[in-house]
Amino acid sequence: MKALRDVALPPHSIVEEPSGLVLLAVQRRGVPLFHCRLSVPAGASEDPRAKAGLAQFTADLLRRGTRRRDAHGVDELIEGMGASLLIDVSMDEAALSLTVPADLSQRALDALLEVALEPAYAEEEVAAARRRALSALQSDLDEPSAVAARATIRLGYGPAHPYGHPVHGYRREVETFGREDCLAFHATRFRPRGALLAVVGDSPPSGLLDVARERLAQVRWASEARPTPLDFLELPREPGLRALVLHKPDSTQAQLRIVSPGIPRSSPRFFEAVVANTALGGGFTSLLVDAIRVDRGLSYSVSTRLAMNRQSGLSLFSSFTKNETLHELVDVALEKMGGYAESGPSEDALDKARTYLAGL
C-alpha cells in the first residue's frame, strides 16, 4: 500500500463570532471568483410535528421575494451579477450559496444575506408554492424509485425519529402549510447560533473575514429564540427482518431497498466505513455489482451507500429487476451482504476500493 501523504490545505481561518455564527474564510489563489455559502440549522429534522416538509417549503420560498423586493426583483438582483443562487435542504441544514466574479464580493454577500434573512412570504407566493409542492408530491407517486426512497427513510429511522420522514414531506401535511407556518419556522431556525458563513476568494483569510463582518454588521437576524431540542432516538434494531411491500399494479419492474442502521458523519469509523461500503456495493467493481449484475444479469443498477447525517445514519442497498426475478434478487442480495458482514472484504477488494476512492 502506498504511503499516505499529508493534505496541504489552502490558507484559511475559522472564527466563532459572539453571536454564535461561525465564519470560515478560505483563500483560493489565482482564481478570480468569490464564493459565499450560508448554512443554518433549519434542515428537515427541524420540521414541527404534523408539518413534515416545512423546512424545504420555507427554503424554496426564499427566492420568491424579500421585504425589499418581489420575486422578479430577486431574480434581477441575482442574475445581474451573472450568478445562480443555489438553495439546498438536507436533514440537518438549509444552505444558500452564490459564486460571482471577485469584484462583486460585497454585492454577493448583501444579496445572499437579504434573501436568506429577509423573506416576505407573500400570501400569493405561499399559495403558489403549495400548489407546486403538492403537484410534485403527486408526480412522485408515479415514479416507483421515488416511492421506494420515501418509504425507506420512514422504515429505516422509524416515524418518531427527527430524520424519519422525507425532506419534501407528505401531501396531507403540505396541504396545511400557510404564511404563518413559514414565518414561525424562519424566525426560530434561521438564527446565528449553529449557523456557518463560508467565504472563498483570492484575498487572504483576514481580508475575507473583514468583508464578511462588514456585511454582517448590517444584518438583523430574525430571532434568538430556540425551538425545543430534538430527540434523536436510537434507531430501531429489530431481532429479525421486516418487509414493507408497496403494490403498484402497472409496474413491470420491482424496486428493492434494503436498509439497516448506519453511522453518523461524526463517527471515528467514517473512513473505514466508506472503504468497506465501496468494496461491498459503492463502486462499479464491487461484490454486489459482480454478483447481481455481472454474474447473473439480474439488474443494470446495483449500489450500496451510507446515508450519514449529523446525528445518525442508514446503510442502504438499492436495485431493481423484472417482477419475475425479484425473489432471486432478494435472495442474492441478502446472502452476499450476510457473508460480507461475517467475513469482511478480501485484501484484493480493499485495494480496489482504496484505489477507486483515491482516484488512482
184 and 266 assigned to the same domain: no
195 and 322 assigned to the same domain: no
199 and 320 assigned to the same domain: no
State residue 229's pLDDT score: 67
157 and 288 assigned to the same domain: no
Greater pLDDT, 231 or 92:
92
269 and 163 assigned to the same domain: no
154 and 292 assigned to the same domain: no
323 and 192 assigned to the same domain: no
- pLDDT (tens digit per residue) in 178-203: 999 999 999 999 999 999 999 999 99
Give the mean model confidence (pLDDT) for residues 318-346: 96
187 and 322 assigned to the same domain: no
State residue 360's pLDDT score: 61
DSSP per position, 278-345: IIIIISSSSHHIIIIIITT---S-EEEEEEE-SS-EEEEEEEEEEGGGHHHHHHHHHHHHHHHHHH--
Query: pLDDT confidence of 208, banded at 50, 70, 90?
Result: very high
207 and 299 assigned to the same domain: no
Look up the pTM and report it.
0.91
State residue 358's pLDDT score: 85
Report if residue 6 sits inside a domain. Answer: no
Residue type, 147: V
- The Cα 288–Cα 283 span in angstroms is 9
Q: Taking 90 as the threshold, does the pLDDT of residue 255 lie above it? A: yes
Report if residue 233 sits inside a domain. Answer: no
Domain containing 152: what range? Answer: 12-216
41 and 124 assigned to the same domain: yes
Q: Taking 90 as the threshold, does the pLDDT of residue 227 lie above it? A: no
Q: Taking 50 as the threshold, does the pLDDT of residue 216 lie above it? A: yes
State residue 1's pLDDT score: 42
62 and 166 assigned to the same domain: yes
State residue 359's pLDDT score: 80
Report if residue 225 sits inside a domain. Answer: no
For residue 17, give the CATH number of its domain: 3.30.830.10
Domain count of the chain?
2
57 and 181 assigned to the same domain: yes
- Here the cell at position 293 is 449484475
Other beta carbons less than 10 A from residue 61's beta carbon: 24
Give the mean model confidence (pLDDT) for residues 52-57: 98
Report if residue 245 sits inside a domain. Answer: no
State residue 251's pLDDT score: 87
Q: What is the mean pLDDT of the chain?
A: 92
- pLDDT (tens digit per residue) in 289-305: 999 999 999 999 999 99
State residue 225's pLDDT score: 60
Q: How many CA atoms lie within 13 A of 258 on its CB side?
A: 20
DSSP per position, 146-165: HHHHHHHHHHHH-TTSTTSS
Report if residue 298 sits inside a domain. Answer: yes
Q: Taking 60 as the threshold, does the pLDDT of residue 205 lie above it? A: yes
Query: pLDDT confidence of 107, banded at 50, 70, 90?
Result: very high
Q: Taking 80 as the threshold, does the pLDDT of residue 313 lie above it? A: yes
Q: Where a domain ends, among 188, 216, 244?
A: 216
Q: Where a domain ends, among 216, 242, 265?
A: 216
State residue 159's pLDDT score: 87
Q: Taking 80 as the threshold, does the pLDDT of residue 39 lie above it? A: yes
SS3 assignment, position 26 = strand
Q: Where a domain ends, among 167, 199, 216?
A: 216
State residue 282's pLDDT score: 93
